[in-house]
Structure 1
């Protein structure tokens, strides 16, 4: 996750250019990154990094043609069917 990504797209005023920037950043993401597990020995006074609620599941490949979006799931490598 790029912490500066929001700052990069915040200054793009053209909606098409902003969407193109978001699309190019997100098209390579294939897994919903899970949050880091909490450490049992960590003190409660420590500042806890706020997570985004990631689930860890594989994300589909999304293709766009004009205004249409198509979702395509890849078969897992260990799937025998």
Structure 2
């Protein structure tokens, strides 16, 4: 456990930047009687492929790399690329739980990620 939030965020980033799959938990074997002292706690992975997020100008694009076993066409060499609209980014950031924010080194009270997206733009009245 790293106490400094900035160092913790950097450690999480360096560990996760190369992970491209949300690895699922290994299934438990019921007939595995020799290893009963302490079961390994899973992290609840779903097995989904994680996209690359690229910024072009003011727009964000997600790219999903296709596996080699999918579509043997020439198009399979090109990754799927689509626009990642701001409302989807906002909803994805809203889904981050308080415990995950703490693990990432962000303050629940002062630095929620969805607060970093402008949803209301205040405009002063005309003179």
Question: For the structure 1 residues 21 and 69, does the alpha-carbon distance in structure 2 shift closer, same or farther, using more than 3 Å as the test?
Answer: farther
TM-score normalised according to structure 2 size: 0.41
Quick check: which has more Rg, 1 or 2?
2
Q: How does 1:20-31 map to 2 (within 5 A)?
A: 20-31=10-21
Structure 1 gap segments, 5+ residues each: 1-6
**Cα distance, 1:53 vs structure 2:** 1.1
Structure 2 gap segments, 5+ residues each: 76-127
TM superposition outliers: structure 1 runs of 4+ over 3 Å: 62-65
Q: Which residue of 2 aligns with 1:39?
A: 29
Q: Which residue of 1 aligns with 2:87?
A: none
Q: How does 1:1-81 map to 2 (within 5 A)?
A: 7=1, 10-13=2-5, 15=6, 17-43=7-33, 46=36, 47-63=38-54, 70-80=61-71
SS in 2 for 1:41: coil
**Per residue, is there more helix in 1 or in 2?**
2
TM-score normalised according to structure 1 size: 0.58
